[in-house]
Amino acid sequence: MSEMIKTENLSYEYSVTYEEKNKTTTKKVLALDNINISIEKGSFVAILGHNGSGKSTLAKHINALIKPTSGTIWVNGYDTKDEKFIWDIRQSAGMVFQNPDNQIVATIVEEDVAFGPENVGIEPNEIKKRVDNALNAVNINEFRKSVPSKLSGGQKQRVAIAGVLAMKPECIVFDEPTAMLDPEGRRDVINTIKKLNKYEKITTVLITHYMSETVDADRIIVIDDGHIVMDGTPKEVLTQVDRMKSFGLEVPQVTEIAYNLRKNGIDIKTDILTLEEMVVALCRLK
């Protein structure tokens, strides 16, 4: 596989202005500090970190919404600092945000999905094909004539994903796409994301606070205060319970249960990530 995303000493600094003792003060904040990562095409990578860790800032760099203060990020081979590649970058890497209402612009579902391709002058027959394929890919074709505002949160998020899919990106960055959803909506959206990665071979970057959403990823990257502090498979990262908690993060509930059982002298595997693995492990106990 070739690289979809590559960073080299990527740093990003911004200024915060505030009032203190009747005086205006400007403070520099280093949101990302010398980030070096490589994400392969077709992979599923989850990015974790507490609020303010820098994970959403990294996501915005992938879509060229912001540019490095220093260092470089390449998306599909394009340097995001080069203005002439902005369209190529955004066509290569789509982005889905927390609130689907911020991405839905039309009053009918199929019109919303068609909005992006229409704006870049795609031929009408090709647009129809793209809309059909995108709606089917996220399993929402039955709602194509519906008013988006009447849909559930999970259904709206799938409409937003379909709108990105219609642009035919090779990569989609999901910035906490389930944060505003109920458990059923979260399940639907995460299943959609997994399906797009597995069957459509779309490079997937998932930023989330829900540890259970990351167990099927190929890789997990943990960011803390602008630095990469952990990088490995879900079993390598999520089972380091104490270390994860030191970064203000939880682990899957069953993983923590296995960890605590082990601490209390019960001979059980500690690399358990799912309920099914826990059931098997408990059945094997003597």
Residue-wise pLDDT for 48-100, tens only, equals 999 889 999 999 999 999 999 999 999 999 999 999 999 899 989 999 988 88
pLDDT at 24: 84
pLDDT at 169: 92
Residue-wise pLDDT for 101-111, tens only, equals 888 889 999 99
pLDDT at 181: 84
- Across the strands, what pairs with 96? 174
In this prediction, residues 154-158 reach a mean pLDDT of: 90
For the chain, which residues make up each domain, given as ranges?
3-235
For the chain, the three-class secondary structure string (H helix, E strand, C coil) is CCEEEEEEEEEEEEEEEEEECCEEEEEEEEEEEEECCEEECCCEEEEECCCCCCHHHHHHHHCCCCCCCEEEEEECCEECCCHHHHHHHHHHEEEECCCHHHCCCCCCHHHHHHHHHHHCCCCHHHHHHHHHHHHHHCCCHHHCCCCHHHCCHHHHHHHHHHHHHCCCCCEEEEECCCCCCCHHHHHHHHHHHHHHHHHCCCEEEEECCCHHHHCCCCEEEEEECCEEEEEECHHHHHCCHHHHHHCCCCCCHHHHHHHHHHHCCCCCCCCCCCHHHHHHHHHCCC
pLDDT at 1: 54
User: Per-residue confidence at 286, pLDDT binned at 50, 70, 90?
Assistant: low
Residue-wise pLDDT for 193-245, tens only, equals 999 999 989 999 999 988 989 999 999 999 999 999 999 999 999 999 999 99
- CATH match of 3-235 with 3.40.50.300: yes
Whether the pLDDT of residue 30 is over 90: the answer is yes
Instruction: Report yes or no on whether pTM surpasses 0.75.
Output: yes
